[in-house]
DNA sequence: CGCCTTTGACCAGCGC
DNA sequence: GCGCTGGTCAAAGGCG
């Protein structure tokens, strides 16, 4: 870990949000299209979701606890379904009420992220079917079991792709940082970079270097707020942290975080996410503390206690004091 | 030498 | 069918 990275991690706020990526045609505007923004920093603890979104939630949806999501106690299919349901509701609500398409709604979200103005439309992840439909299918189904062999056949004899693979749920983090590639404890290999439409900032594609781990992440900058880095994780690590972290990535993470993250779930984002959550119930009672799309994902009482030092101290927003800011 | 990034090419999905 | 776009591959080169 370079001093630069350290500086980023210790001196920048770390807003983030959860996203179940929808991957529609406007996927390139990830900061717009991704749903469930959970945007936090010291000045703006959390972007309040528009009330019209909250109203669009289906109270009859089968809810899970947020802890379940983070700690992987439920399978991704269930997770996807839950998010999809709420997502569909939101999107439908948006389109119907605001009379806007996905693009325009998404564009407003980006403004939201920058201005923290709550009363704007937001684009949302489509349901699983639409998400899968809209994506290409380079990997065969059951990609979690893939060992890289399927990738070798891409250029040569490609398998028929009538069935579309189930895309992994994604966890997107918004991070205010000048560093694009944020250390998260895992080792990543960059395998691609693409220019993003309507954005001067490219999108980078990373893959976990561990064997048999198909976790990927994309890193890009919000073009409307270049200080915000959008990191989208896809998949779930099936291994512990690498024993030899490149640089001193492990060193910059608090021991408690690493320990708990590794022990609870070998997937850093979820574990980190879990620890970042506040332990009070303020945001549960206050609709403005909801995640976009599904407030009931949260179960604050089940969240881990926040450590009081190290990285998380910097990461953790002052939930109690800055409940809402204009 | 191993690991990583860069980068042009390729492929699939989607909209028109 | 065509063009656009996102996502990925893989060769080449850099770096420690």
Tokens read off for A203: 């999108």
Mean per-residue pLDDT, A61-79: 37
- Cα–Cα distance measured from residue A303 to residue A125, given in angstroms and rounded to the nearest whole number: 25
Q: Which of A205, A232, A288 is nearest to A17 (CA)?
A: A232
pTM: 0.51
Residue A199 CA distance to nucleotide C16 C1' (Å): 34
Taking only the tens place, the pLDDT of each residue in A290-325 is 333 332 233 333 333 333 333 333 333 333 333 333
DSSP SS3 for A262 = helix
Taking only the tens place, the pLDDT of each residue in A163-220 is 444 566 677 778 877 777 767 778 888 999 988 887 888 899 998 888 778 788 888 8
**A34 located within any domain:** no
More confident residue, A70 or A237: A237
pLDDT at residue A109 greater than cutoff 50: no
pLDDT at A89: 37
pLDDT at A205: 92
CATH code of the domain containing A189: 2.20.25.80
State the nucleotide closest to A202 in CA–C1' terms. C6
pLDDT at residue A280 greater than cutoff 50: no
Range of the domain at A179: 170-234
Tokens read off for A289: 């503390």
Identify the DSSP state of A319. T
**A138 located within any domain:** no
Tokens read off for A29: 């505007």
Contacts of A155 (CB under 8 A, 6+ apart): none
**A21 located within any domain:** no
Residue A188 CA distance to nucleotide B4 C1' (Å): 9
| Residue with CA nearest to B12's C1' atom | A136
pLDDT at residue A59 greater than cutoff 50: no
Number of domains in chain A: 1
Contacts 24+ apart (CB under 8 A), A256-259: A256/A307, A256/A310, A256/A312, A257/A307, A257/A310, A257/A311, A257/A312, A258/A185
Residue A44 CA distance to nucleotide B9 C1' (Å): 43
Contacts 24+ apart (CB under 8 A), A198-206: A198/A28, A198/A29, A198/A223, A199/A28, A199/A29, A199/A223, A201/A226, A203/A28, A203/A30, A204/A180, A206/A181
pLDDT at residue A139 greater than cutoff 70: no
Q: Which of A282, A280, A268, A270 is nearest to A306 (CA)?
A: A280
Residue A321 CA distance to nucleotide C6 C1' (Å): 41
Mean per-residue pLDDT, A26-33: 35
CB A44 within 8 A of CB A325: yes
Which run of H or E residues covers position A195? strand A188-195
Residue A176 CA distance to nucleotide C12 C1' (Å): 34
Taking only the tens place, the pLDDT of each residue in A228-277 is 888 888 887 777 666 444 444 344 444 444 444 444 444 444 444 444 43
- Nucleotides of chain B in contact with protein CB (under 7 A) are 3-15
Residue A121 CA distance to nucleotide B10 C1' (Å): 37
**A316 located within any domain:** no
CB A222 within 8 A of CB A31: yes
pLDDT at A232: 86
pLDDT at residue A40 greater than cutoff 60: no
Q: Which of A37, A45, A43, A133 is nearest to A90 (CA)?
A: A37
Footprint of strand C on the protein (CB under 7 A): A 23, 27-29, 135-136, 138-139, 151-152, 154-156, 191-197, 203, 205, 207, 216, 218
State the nucleotide closest to A135 in CA–C1' terms. B13
State the nucleotide closest to A133 in CA–C1' terms. B13
Taking only the tens place, the pLDDT of each residue in A117-136 is 333 333 333 333 333 333 33
Residues facing residue A193 across a β-bridge:
A204
Residue A91 CA distance to nucleotide C3 C1' (Å): 28
Identify the DSSP state of A16. -
Q: How confident is the model at residue A115 (pLDDT cuts 50, 70, 90)?
A: very low
Work out whether strand A202-208 and strand A216-221 pair parallel, antiparallel, or are unpaired: antiparallel
pLDDT at A209: 83
- Cα–Cα distance measured from residue A93 to residue A293, given in angstroms and rounded to the nearest whole number: 11
Mean per-residue pLDDT, A44-60: 33
pLDDT at A213: 80
**A229 located within any domain:** yes
**A174 located within any domain:** yes
**A122 located within any domain:** no
Contacts of A280 (CB under 8 A, 6+ apart): A300, A319, A320
- Cα–Cα distance measured from residue A288 to residue A47, given in angstroms and rounded to the nearest whole number: 8
Crossing angle for the helix pair A102-115 and A76-98, to the nearest 10 degrees: 100
Mean per-residue pLDDT, A9-13: 37
Identify the DSSP state of A224. T
Mean per-residue pLDDT, A69-92: 39
């Amino acid at each position: 870990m370079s001093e630069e990275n350290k500086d980023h991690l210790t001196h920048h706020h770390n807003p983030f949000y959860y996203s179940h990526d929808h991957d529609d045609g406007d996927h390139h505007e990830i900061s717009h299209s991704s749903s469930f923004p959970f945007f936090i920093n010291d000045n703006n603890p959390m972007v309040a979701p528009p009330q019209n979104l909250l109203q669009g939630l289906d109270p009859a949806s089968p809810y899970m606890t947020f802890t379940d999501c983070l700690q992987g106690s439920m399978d991704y299919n269930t997770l996807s379904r839950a998010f999809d349901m709420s997502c569909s509701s939101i999107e439908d609500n948006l389109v119907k009420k605001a009379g806007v398409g996905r693009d325009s709604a998404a564009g407003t979200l980006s403004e939201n992220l920058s201005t923290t103005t709550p009363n704007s439309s937001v684009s949302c992840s489509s349901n699983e079917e639409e998400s899968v439909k809209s994506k290409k299918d380079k990997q065969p189904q059951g990609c979690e079991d893939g060992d890289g062999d399927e990738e070798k056949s891409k250029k040569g004899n490609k398998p028929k792709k009538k069935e579309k693979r189930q895309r992994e749920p994604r966890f997107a983090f918004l991070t205010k940082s000048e560093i694009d590639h944020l250390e998260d404890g895992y080792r990543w290999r960059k395998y691609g970079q693409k220019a993003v439409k309507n954005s001067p900032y490219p999108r980078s594609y990373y893959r976990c270097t561990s064997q048999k781990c198909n976790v990927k992440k994309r890193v890009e900058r919000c073009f409307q707020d270049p200080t915000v880095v959008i990191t989208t994780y896809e998949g779930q690590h099936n291994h512990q942290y690498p024993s030899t972290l490149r640089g001193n990535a492990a060193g910059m993470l608090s021991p408690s975080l690493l320990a708990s993250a590794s022990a609870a779930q070998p997937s850093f984002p979820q574990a980190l996410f879990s620890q970042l959550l506040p332990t009070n119930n303020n945001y549960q009672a206050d609709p403005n503390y909801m995640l976009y799309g599904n407030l009931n994902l949260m179960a604050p009482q089940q969240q881990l206690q926040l450590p009081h030092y190290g990285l998380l101290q910097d990461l953790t927003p002052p939930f109690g004091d800055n409940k809402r800011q204009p």
